[in-house]
Structure 1
């Protein structure tokens, strides 16, 4: 088993684990974590695809780095939306 195949299978397993969590969880924080796990699986798949040829494909590696920045920003935004939603549901109507 090569390293690229190991990363490919691990990325696929992470993506499936995140999909399972996304479909079965109700709590907003757990769903956000599941989406992040799915994103990590996609990043591992892209790294595995970049490493299967020599020399290593720099475009896919640059996309992974850019995706990490976007994923962190999207996670921060989703967490803010989840806390705002929880705060608004906790307030009693007057």
Structure 2
């Protein structure tokens, strides 16, 4: 088993854990964290797929396009997380105690 398959499998496992946690948990903050975990798994899969191996055309250098996509994804994920946390805070501030107990 080489490192590419190990990272690919780890990325899939992290994505599944984040997706299941997002579907199971009802708290807004925990759902946001679960989505961050799932997106981290997707980024790990992209990085694993960027590896060309030692038999690649450039002597094993990884593909720079997926790496650039992952870096862009990290920036977008940080911005969306900040927006989602601000919206979750606003929702929790405007929601009654009675409405939160209902679920």
TM-score normalised by structure 1 residue count = 0.92
Q: 1:52 and 1:23 mapped to 2: Cα distance? A: 34
- The partner residue of 1:60 within 66, 88, 102 is 66
2:56 equivalent in structure 1: none
Cα RMSD between the aligned structures?
Answer: 1.2
Q: 2:63 and 2:11 mapped to 1: Cα distance? A: 18
Q: Which has the larger radius of gyration?
A: 2
Runs of 5+ consecutive residues of structure 1 not aligned to the other structure: none
Figure out how many residues of one structure are paired with residues of the other and give that number. Answer: 91
Q: Does 2:93 align with 1:87? A: yes
Runs of 5+ consecutive residues of structure 2 not aligned to the other structure: 54-59, 98-103
Q: Which residues of 2 match residues 29-44 of structure 1 at below 5 A?
A: 29-44=29-44
Q: 2:4 and 2:43 mapped to 1: Cα distance? A: 13
Worse-superposed segment, 29-38 or 53-62: 53-62
Q: Stretches of 4+ moved more than 2 A in 1?
A: 52-55
